[in-house]
Structure 1
Amino acid sequence: MFRRSIHHLTKKYDVAILGGGHNALVSACYLSQANKSVVVLEKAPQFGGATQSVYAFDGVPAKLSRYSYLVSLFPDRIKNELGLEFETLRRKVSWYAPHGSDGGILLNRLFDEESRKNLLEFTNQQEVEAWQEFYGKIGRVAEKLAPTLLEPLKTEEEVRDLIGEEAWVDFVEQPLFVTLDKYFTDDLIKGIVLTDGLIGTWANANDRLSNICFLYHLIGNGTGEWRVPKGGMGQVVDALVSRAKKLGAELRTDSEVANVDLSDDGISLNTNEEDIQADVLLSGASPAVLERLTGITSASCRDGSQIKVNMVLKRLPKLKSGIDPNLAFAGTFHINESYRQLEKAYAQAAANQIPDEIPAEMYCHTLTDSSILDKSMVDAGNHTLTLFALHTPAYLFDKDHENKKTLVTERIISGLNQHLAEPIEDLILKDANGKPCLEVKTPQELEKEIDLPRGNIFHGDLSWPWQSGKDQRKWGVETAHDRVFVAGAGCMRGGGVSGIGGHNAAMAALERLRK
């Protein structure tokens, strides 16, 4: 509890917003645009939360998207309605998956003749046709479902009618492993498809949570395309901060909320600077943080299950397959992600064992956008690599954290090196202190640094983006108190760099303010 002087000021706003991540800033923009008085309270020295860009290594002028690094779910509609000025870039390559000692599959973002040829060299015509049928079907689902994410929640029956019975069964009703078996026979192909159901989610192919995660990863903007933010993820934040300020929102960093008092008449907040009164409270922080401050119960959620790795290289490594690294690392580079490897790693982690082979995927931001590097680094041929490891739940690190972290790092590096013609360690740049430009973040460290509960990047378990069961909320952001709304990743239709939670919380808040 902060000690307040008797001269502590009190200010009144229509809306107070906890946290300064991208969703909170989206809310601030919409509410200010509607002529509401808004204050955003961020306890850290900078805005952005998981969407910030940082100089991670001493003396190395590379501004990394440290925590989140690609944009898929952020709707063009939000960008256009708010007049946001940031750019996202397309990647020509979708993914590369090495296999065997010297082989690999490369698919372009658009399934063109080159993609067909590459896939056919690895598998058979039936599998190629199944791939096109499968992604054609999920593409049609995305086109229909994406626009609903910024509307009041549809019912389960309405969505079932909207996407059609066959798609509903394939992607919603039956476990993902059944659908994978329906379309595909190859172990590697099945694994690559499955990864979209596992990123950031502690689940396997038999768990319906993987269906939900899969759906979110494939419906962004009606295309599911993952784009690179030009200049890094911090450019999205900078655009939101700039717009919110122009619209009149008060944005405060280093402003930690000590406690929140809720009443039927309004909200009272105590910060380390002043007392604040507001008609409505929005929380861009996780539901767990909101519960700590207000007592509003949050749902239990699974551990975060990913390790985040950032590195800066002297140059890209050569691969055993002989493929040009400028192609292999331009899209998503899959490591140990066959179906068998994914399921084995899950089973080992579920048995409280660090997986022998840790599934992971990585990409090189600087192949698409070199602007995050100083010109001297570009001229020297330096690059960044970002890696996201799966099936490493937080509980594996609760005891003996540092030794477990070291072991996991070694296995991740080993998994990458098996496909390289030269060890990645020899190519990692040194910082100003002579230390390797390599950082590894466990779920515990993600919680400590950016308040992700148990490292869960979605702030909680993802839920279907429609009304289901007893949950009949209109926007999916409402809480037990009618003046408090969840604006961050932890609301329904939250998760990812989307701004959707921020938009929907702002709409719900405006409706409450009109009462």
Structure 2
Amino acid sequence: MNNTPYDVVIVGGGHNGLTAAAYLARAGKDVLLLERDDHLGGAAVSATAFEGVEARLSRYSYLVSLMPKQIIEDLGLDIELARRRYSSYTPVPGNTAAGLLIDGADADATRGSFKRVAGNDADFDAMREFNTDTERLARALFPTFCGPLPSRSEARKLLDDDALWDELIEQPLGQAIARRFGNDVVRGVVATDALIGTFTSLDDPSLDANRCFLYHVVGNETGDWDIPIGGMGVVSRELERAAREAGARLVTSAEVTSISADGGVRYRLDGEEHAVEGRHVLTNIAPWVLNGLLGHAGEGTVESARPEGAQVKVNLLLARLPRLNDKSVAPEAAFGGTFHINEGYGRLEEAFQEALRGAIPNPLPCEVYCHSLTDPSILSPELVEAGAQTLTVFGLHVPDRWITEENNDARREELQAAVLASLNSVLAEPIEDLILKDANGNPCIETKTTLDLEHAINMPGGNIFHGSLQWPFLEDEAPRNTAAERWGVSTGNPRILVCGSGARRGGGVSGIGGHNAAMAVLENLADQ
């Protein structure tokens, strides 16, 4: 064991661990960060996924909304985030010539699109009112995300609208969507923000959908989801730079094998066993993984249930954007925002029920993103000149419970086929005909199941939030006796804190978990 303890040992070099390292090192603390992979960044990385093809994909995480401007400014990060003109496009199932296009730059055109899809423009007005309400929620709550947690009563008072609080926080979100909107397609557009990364019904009393929805609409008080220019890897590289320049020691290829209650951390590096001690240990890993390292996997002082993800991700590189069945919308507009496929409200609930019965939903609800339209810099000049485009597709309601080590390859093929079939249901040409080939003649398509995510980036069950999302406030009766409790990073052990997506106010690429764990540590050290 290292005779001189580090002030802080950070386990896991994802973007939250790097955020914590930067803040703590800038405060003059002696920081050691250990990362099991040969690179830093965790899920917030860019990669050339296809052999011999110069296309840098945001391989796992894909958009940025929750990263506070405060963190970017505090750490001097050189990150450019690009706003997409189009919010979304959603084809009407069964109607090859109609779709809902929400254009952030043209309210009149958007109103007309609502009228064509819904038969009237009442839902357009309802959507504007609903967006105004969610923005009020965002302005009330997001400023608290980089501070000590408010209580439930305090958060409710910040919103200062009991009816809206009850609608979005206390009651299943499906009730609000059904009450506010009449058209199934419009309802589905709203509902998807409550489902990506979760496996639930919008009417479930657990309110998992509500929590997921909240984190999708509060980012930086607007809820806008932006594209990082240069790919998601730029975010992690800037955080790494900030941490190194501040003096943090960052060690890759270091696999942590155990953590002890007294701050001891054992890890394997270059075939040798090492041991260090931290006055504090910050864990940028899923709480379920932390349980195992603490030696009580399955019992769980920090996470008692194994997480479950419920999505499949498919990355593609196309020769060009595909033509649509809906000839009234240019592909550049349809793919310029979030492209919703087979995500009507009724279809989303049907798909959930099908998945509960063990069947891959048919058709599979999917969301599509084309990063290269907004940020062509992720492609080589030759690919840009040729008109090539990337697509990232998320398929919903495909729970991890289906997938095992034995069937993962077969399931991956089945899920990929389901994603392509869903895409083709709204296209005027087969997507397969547009997929480019890599240097070996293989199609440029990469599919990641929940188990693939677990293998690659240690997310148990492929859960992209590291576990169940929590409200960004404490219950009124919850203890606030320690800094870790007040900042939402407690594990129950005063020396071990959560600093990743598993922290309260975690999930997404935000740095909030890392920031808040660092603040809790600094508060503790100031008191010592």
2:420 maps to which of 413, 416, 421: 413
Residue by residue over 1:252-288, the C-alpha shift from the partner in whole angstroms, topping out at 9 and shown as x without a partner, is 111111222222xx43434435321211000011111
1:75 and 2:68 aligned? yes
- For 1:86, the equivalent position in structure 2 comes to 79
Shift of residue 477, structure 1, vs aligned partner: 0.4
- For 1:216, the equivalent position in structure 2 comes to 215
Shift of residue 468, structure 1, vs aligned partner: 1.7
- For 2:249, the equivalent position in structure 1 comes to 250
1:109 and 2:104 aligned? yes
1:48-59 equivalence runs, <5 A: 48-59=41-52
- For 2:325, the equivalent position in structure 1 comes to 320
Tell me the amino acid that sits aligned with residue 180 of structure 1. I
| CA contact 2:264–2:275 (8 Å) conserved in 1 | no
- For 1:3, the equivalent position in structure 2 comes to none
- For 1:277, the equivalent position in structure 2 comes to 277
- For 1:340, the equivalent position in structure 2 comes to 346
2:302 maps to which of 292, 298, 303: 298
Counterpart secondary structure, 2:5: strand
| CA contact 1:262–1:268 (8 Å) conserved in 2 | no
CA separation of 1:141/1:153 partners in 2, compared to 1, >3 Å: closer, same or farther?
Answer: same
Shift of residue 360, structure 1, vs aligned partner: 0.7
Counterpart secondary structure, 1:170: helix
Number of residues of Structure 1 aligned to a counterpart in Structure 2:
506
Distance, in Å, in 2 between the alignment partners of 1:161 and 1:275 is 48
Distance, in Å, in 2 between the alignment partners of 1:483 and 1:383 is 47
2:182 maps to which of 177, 181, 185: 185
| CA contact 1:260–1:270 (8 Å) conserved in 2 | no
Residue by residue over 1:98-144, the C-alpha shift from the partner in whole angstroms, topping out at 9 and shown as x without a partner, is 11112111112357222222222222132221111111111111111
| CA contact 2:256–2:265 (8 Å) conserved in 1 | no
Greater CA drift, 469-478 or 421-430: 469-478
Greater CA drift, 38-47 or 284-293: 284-293
Greater CA drift, 301-310 or 359-368: 301-310
| CA contact 1:462–1:492 (8 Å) conserved in 2 | yes
Distance, in Å, in 1 between the alignment partners of 2:83 and 2:397 is 28
- For 2:36, the equivalent position in structure 1 comes to 43
Distance, in Å, in 1 between the alignment partners of 2:314 and 2:15 is 22
Tell me the amino acid that sits aligned with residue 232 of structure 1. G
Counterpart secondary structure, 2:89: strand
| CA contact 2:339–2:369 (8 Å) conserved in 1 | yes
1:460 and 2:464 aligned? no
Distance, in Å, in 2 between the alignment partners of 1:260 and 1:391 is 35
Tell me the amino acid that sits aligned with residue 130 of structure 1. A
The sequence identity of aligned pairs, in percent, is 44
1:121 and 2:116 aligned? yes
- For 2:482, the equivalent position in structure 1 comes to none
| CA contact 2:257–2:268 (8 Å) conserved in 1 | yes
Counterpart secondary structure, 2:429: coil
| CA contact 1:353–1:396 (8 Å) conserved in 2 | no
Shift of residue 290, structure 1, vs aligned partner: 1.1
- For 1:139, the equivalent position in structure 2 comes to 135
1:383 maps to which of 376, 380, 389: 389
Distance, in Å, in 2 between the alignment partners of 1:373 and 1:349 is 36
Tell me the amino acid that sits aligned with residue 394 of structure 1. D
Distance, in Å, in 2 between the alignment partners of 1:482 and 1:327 is 51
Shift of residue 297, structure 1, vs aligned partner: 2.6
Distance, in Å, in 1 between the alignment partners of 2:222 and 2:167 is 18
| CA contact 2:98–2:116 (8 Å) conserved in 1 | no
CA separation of 1:66/1:94 partners in 2, compared to 1, >3 Å: closer, same or farther?
Answer: same
Tell me the amino acid that sits aligned with residue 115 of structure 2. L
Distance, in Å, in 2 between the alignment partners of 1:175 and 1:43 is 40
TM-score (norm. length: structure 2): 0.93
1:424 and 2:417 aligned? no
| CA contact 1:204–1:210 (8 Å) conserved in 2 | yes
Counterpart secondary structure, 1:262: coil
| CA contact 1:317–1:420 (8 Å) conserved in 2 | yes
Counterpart secondary structure, 1:49: coil
| CA contact 2:318–2:389 (8 Å) conserved in 1 | yes
- For 2:510, the equivalent position in structure 1 comes to 498
Counterpart secondary structure, 1:256: strand
1:166 and 2:132 aligned? no
Distance, in Å, in 2 between the alignment partners of 1:255 and 1:471 is 36
Distance, in Å, in 2 between the alignment partners of 1:196 and 1:38 is 37
- For 2:198, the equivalent position in structure 1 comes to 201
Shift of residue 161, structure 1, vs aligned partner: 1.3
Distance, in Å, in 1 between the alignment partners of 2:454 and 2:167 is 35
TM-score (norm. length: structure 1): 0.96
Shift of residue 9, structure 1, vs aligned partner: 6.5
Shift of residue 79, structure 1, vs aligned partner: 0.4
The alignment's C-alpha RMSD in Å is: 1.5
CA separation of 1:211/1:9 partners in 2, compared to 1, >3 Å: closer, same or farther?
Answer: closer
Distance, in Å, in 2 between the alignment partners of 1:101 and 1:134 is 28
Shift of residue 375, structure 1, vs aligned partner: 0.7
- For 1:372, the equivalent position in structure 2 comes to 378
